[in-house]
């Protein structure tokens, strides 16, 4: 059967690359990208629609027009922006999800992907190798909305048989599209600033370890989860997943292997520090390994080399 795929929120860091990967896999015309505004990196390859996920009427029209077999819902407000606009973050992250889940039942969508985040963990969760199941007391509106979203996804699976699949993404590092409004964004900004000016003023402290994942691994993992036979999936809330954990100081050391003059300084009192301090240092993703063969390929030095090689072209 031909897949018809709709990506909602396709202009962002993950959507941009997921769209390319899905179009390569299923054909450009089979993948509809959509977002609240036109893409900054125009992609003339396949259909694109302007969609506000909170506008149920136009969402309905989108589902009627394309009758998707798979939906990827990526529209969300991330942790740092969410703290500036808590009411809007809750609205977008929760009501956007509910709109898509309800329409997916109505239109018999076969599979839905919805990203959760390490932000579902909080100050009382175990910090190191945080397990799939533990105390979860997120204290950002983003984390609270993601945890509520996970519970709703599992509920729709149990109650309506909706095949929703999800990953708790750590920080995603990539060079094509910029991340927006996250706490882990420093690990992308640092590469741009290193190449532009040999200096980066980091908003997190030197010893703040966070779990991260390279975009190539994130895309491969997402597609692997979506391809996995339903019977193999023991988790219908969201899978823990990780690539590598490191601190800003360690990343700066890696960058200095290529740019010896690079200097990092640290801004104190940034509100994102408190968010990072409430999150795990590292993640245990045993369940993803066991259920659908998860295995990251990029370590920190490979990420650093790949980021610098690709971004060098941009700043040449």
Of 31 and 188, CB closest to ligand AKB: 188
**Location of structure tokens 């390859």:** 45
In degrees and rounded to multiples of 5, residue 77 shows phi and psi of: -105, 125
CB of 115 to ligand AKB, least distance (A): 8
CB of 214 to ligand AKB, least distance (A): 13
CA atoms of 160 and 163, how far apart (whole Å): 9
The C-alpha angle with vertex 7 and arms to 192 and 41, in degrees rounded to 5, equals 35
CB of 217 to ligand AKB, least distance (A): 15
Catalytic residue among 66, 72, 142, 186: 142
Residue nearest to ligand AKB (CB): 182
Question: 226-244 burial by CB neighbour count: b if 16+ within 10 A, else e?
Answer: bebeeeebebbbbbbbbbb
Of 74 and 118, CB closest to ligand AKB: 118
In degrees and rounded to multiples of 5, residue 247 shows phi and psi of: -105, 165
In degrees and rounded to multiples of 5, residue 38 shows phi and psi of: -60, 145
For residue 137, give every residue at least 6 positions away whose Cβ sits within 8 Å of its Cβ, in sequence order, or none.
122, 123, 124, 125
Of 46 and 182, CB closest to ligand AKB: 182
Handedness of CA 261, 265, 271, 275 (dihedral sign): positive
Q: How many CB atoms lie within 10 A of CB 298?
A: 22
Give the binding site for ligand AKB (CB under 6 A): 78-79, 117-119, 142, 169-171, 182-184
CB of 146 to ligand AKB, least distance (A): 8
Handedness of CA 249, 254, 272, 120 (dihedral sign): negative
Would residue 186 show up in a list of annotated catalytic residues for this protein?
Answer: no
Of 180 and 293, CB closest to ligand AKB: 180
Of 162 and 172, CB closest to ligand AKB: 172
Any idea which residues carry the catalytic annotation?
A: 142
């Amino acid at each position: 059967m031909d897949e018809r795929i709709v990506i909602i929120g396709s202009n962002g860091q993950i959507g941009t690359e997921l769209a390319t990967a899905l179009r390569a896999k299923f054909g450009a015309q089979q993948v509809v990208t959509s977002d609240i505004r036109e893409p900054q990196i125009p992609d003339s390859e396949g259909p694109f629609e302007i969609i506000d996920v909170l506008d149920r009427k136009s969402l309905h029209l989108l589902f009627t027009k394309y009758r998707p077999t798979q939906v990827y819902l990526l529209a969300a407000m991330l942790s740092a922006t969410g703290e500036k606009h808590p009411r809007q973050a809750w609205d977008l992250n929760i009501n956007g999800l509910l709109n898509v889940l309800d329409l997916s039942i109505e239109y018999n969508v076969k599979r839905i992907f919805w990203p959760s985040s390490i932000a579902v963990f909080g100050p009382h969760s175990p910090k190191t190798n945080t397990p799939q199941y533990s105390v979860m007391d997120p204290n950002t509106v983003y984390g609270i909305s993601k945890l509520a979203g996970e519970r709703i996804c599992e509920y729709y699976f149990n109650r309506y048989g909706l095949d929703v699949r999800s990953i708790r993404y750590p920080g995603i590092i990539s060079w094509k599209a910029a991340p927006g409004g996250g706490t882990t964004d420093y690990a992308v900004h640092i590469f741009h600033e290193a190449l532009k000016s040999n200096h980066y003023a980091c908003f997190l402290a030197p010893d703040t370890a966070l779990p991260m994942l390279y975009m190539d691994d994130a895309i491969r993992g997402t597609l692997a989860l979506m391809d996995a036979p339903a019977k193999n999936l023991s988790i219908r809330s969201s899978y823990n997943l990780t690539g590598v954990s490191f601190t800003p100081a360690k990343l700066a050391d890696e960058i200095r292997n290529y740019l010896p003059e690079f200097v990092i300084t640290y801004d104190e009192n940034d509100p994102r520090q408190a968010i990072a301090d409430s999150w795990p240092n590292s993640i245990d993703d045993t369940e993803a390994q066991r259920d659908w063969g998860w295995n990251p390929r990029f370590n920190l030095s490979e990420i650093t080399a790949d980021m610098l090689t690709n971004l060098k072209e941009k700043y040449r």
